[in-house]
Amino acid sequence: MNRFIDNLRRQFPCLGIPVNGQRLAWLDTASTALKPDCVIDAIADYYRCCPANVHRGIHRLSEMATARYEASRQSVRKFINATSTDEIVFTSGTTESINIVAGSAGQHWLQAGDDVLISELEHHANIVPWQFLRDRLGIRLRSIPMDRQGDITPDALRQQLSPRTRLVALTAVSNAIGTELPLSELIPIAHAAGAKVLIDAAQAAACVPLDVQALDCDFLAFSGHKLFGPTGIGVLYGKAAWLDEMPPFKGGGDMIKSVTLEHTEFNDLPYKFEAGSPNIAGAIGLGRAIEFVNEIGFEAIMHHENRLTKTALQALSSIRGVTLVGTPTQRRNIISFTLDGVHPHDAGTLLDEDGVAIRAGHHCAQPLMQRFGLPGTIRASFSIYNNDEDIEQLVRSINRIIRIFE
């Protein structure tokens, strides 16, 4: 395994560049993942060889670009096991994907007095669009409380469901404390109550296999950049029947069949939701990133990340002054903690000096931080390119910070 990881690490050019004169311990994958050479090359190759627009050229380069763009859509379809590429909409990221559902499906299906249910663990991207909708349509936005460990239980969901709950929007993995939600239990409960379900898979996409048919979720959103792909590209999956019913979100080129000055005939799925020239290089990069993940396989990814997370948990909890924030039943590759008497930002600055990149702050999950009564935490997250040395570097640096603040 070690040789395997060393080999992988060499494919991430960023890991070879010292930071503040130190070896880089990138423990901020939950914010964004590093990019392997193959993804960087795929993007550069598009710009070098066929930097043409898609779906609108009759020339060779546009055909090449279109073929690559659509091959990526196919890779995404397989990656989440959707039935058809009609169900795969390229967006700019998770945030836009959720905004499309809120703005389009919300408008279409919801009316004043209906409930949208989220959880207390959500990222702002899965809170704010629903607040917009609440203010626009007069829906009620309710949230499922987490328990003391940081879990969202089936009972907690049941208690918040009402006959007016039309949509339940949940994260698959909490970016702030690492909880993996028991989706295969939660989704059927929401469906039984007549609600549709949106899954925010921004964190989950790179660390657990996703199967939208097995989950039976109605919508699923994720971002390319947390999956070793570029920023500015993401995916909205929606069941074809729902996407068909939903009005388009943005108007423009590519999303139309025909336009007169009075009337527009919308394009078929998924193009109805892809107005304007898309992020072609981004989609191609994402497609290559998915292939990269497939080449490694989730078995190896999960095995490695579980082991690292466990090692780090043990190491951190044995340091006096470290308090773990959230102790979920099923944790993924994320650990949040605080240091007695040290503000997370001060810790972040000093960790950075030691080459350790973590995230300090509220992790775009302020309601969750408020529940814990904290302004923020220090968050370390692990990926396939991390190793034991990274954890040792983290622990050494934390011990040094504790000494400075003593």
Positions marked active-site: 364
**Residue 112 touches which of ligand PLP, other proteins, none (CB < 5 to 8 A by kind)?**
none
Under the binding rule (CB under 6 A), the answer on residue 36 touching ligand PLP is no
**Residue 350 touches which of other proteins, ligand PLP, none (CB < 5 to 8 A by kind)?**
other proteins
Decide whether 166 or 363 has the Cβ nearer to other proteins. Answer: 363
CA distance 55 to 65: 9
Q: What phi and psi values does residue 264 have, to the nearest 5 degrees?
A: -130, 130
| Residues of span 171-190 touching ligand PLP by CB under 6 A | 171, 175
Measuring CA to CA, which residue among 158, 151, 157, 96 is closest to residue 128? 96
Under the binding rule (CB under 6 A), the answer on residue 336 touching ligand PLP is no
CA angle 50, 51, 56 (to 5 degrees): 90
Decide whether 33 or 364 has the Cβ nearer to ligand PLP. Answer: 364
Beta bridge partners of 169: 198
Closest distance between other proteins and the C-beta of residue 177, in Å? 16
DSSP string covering 19-30: BTTB--EE-BTT
| Residues of span 208-227 touching ligand PLP by CB under 6 A | 223, 225
Closest distance between other proteins and the C-beta of residue 192, in Å? 39
**Residue 393 touches which of other proteins, ligand PLP, none (CB < 5 to 8 A by kind)?**
none
Measured CA distances, 86 to 89, 240, 244, 336 (Å): 8, 7, 10, 38
Give 184-204 as a 3 state SS string: HHHHHHHHHCCCEEEEECCCH
Under the binding rule (CB under 6 A), the answer on residue 328 touching ligand PLP is no
| Residues of span 75-94 touching ligand PLP by CB under 6 A | 93-94
Decide whether 46 or 372 has the Cβ nearer to other proteins. Answer: 372
CA distance 206 to 29: 10
Closest distance between other proteins and the C-beta of residue 343, in Å? 4
Closest distance between other proteins and the C-beta of residue 405, in Å? 7
Helix axes 388-405, 344-353, angle to 10 degrees: 120
Residues 6+ apart with CB under 8 A from 136: none
| Residues of span 97-156 touching ligand PLP by CB under 6 A | 123, 125-126
Q: Are 102 and 130 in contact (CB under 8 A)?
A: yes
Binding site for other proteins (CB under 8 A): 341-346, 349-350, 352-353, 360-362, 369, 375-376, 404-405
CA distance 127 to 328: 21
**Residue 95 touches which of ligand PLP, other proteins, none (CB < 5 to 8 A by kind)?**
ligand PLP
Closest distance between ligand PLP and the C-beta of residue 364, in Å? 6
Binding site for ligand PLP (CB under 6 A): 93-95, 123, 125-126, 171, 175, 200, 202-203, 223, 225, 364
